Amino acid sequence: MQTTKNTRYDVLMGMRNTLPLVIAATPFAIVFGALAISNGLSAWLVMAMSVFVFSGASQFIAITLLASATFFPIITRHLFLTIIVGLLSFALMQQFLVF
């Protein structure tokens, strides 16, 4: 069983190791937010999409399709992209388990 000190250290190390990813993703988040707001979506919907949608490419497609009021293609393309990203993540996970 880990002690509290080791757990806190692990969390801090995880935060430190994730920092480059956060820095790299920040410009995309700003562009996504600006695009969504300029297409008339509410701030709450933009934040909800950022929380619940796993694929960033699917977010940009959804913004374009929501602006043109076509809902069926949004669901279809979002599910397709989410499945692709999920399968890719699973395949990469299998590769990293070898190490």
5, two tokens: 């000190």
The residue behind tokens 């497609």 is: 61
How far is it, in rounded angstroms, from Cα 88 to Cα 82? 10
Our count of domains for the chain comes to 1
Q: Which mean pLDDT values do the consecutive 10-residue runs of the chain (99 residues) have?
A: 71 90 89 90 86 78 77 75 83 75
pTM for this model (two decimals): 0.60
pLDDT of 5 reads 67
User: What's the half-sphere exposure (Cβ side, CA atoms, 13 Å) at 3?
Assistant: 2
- Domain of 24 in residue numbering reads as 4-97
CA dist 36 and 29 (Å) reads: 10
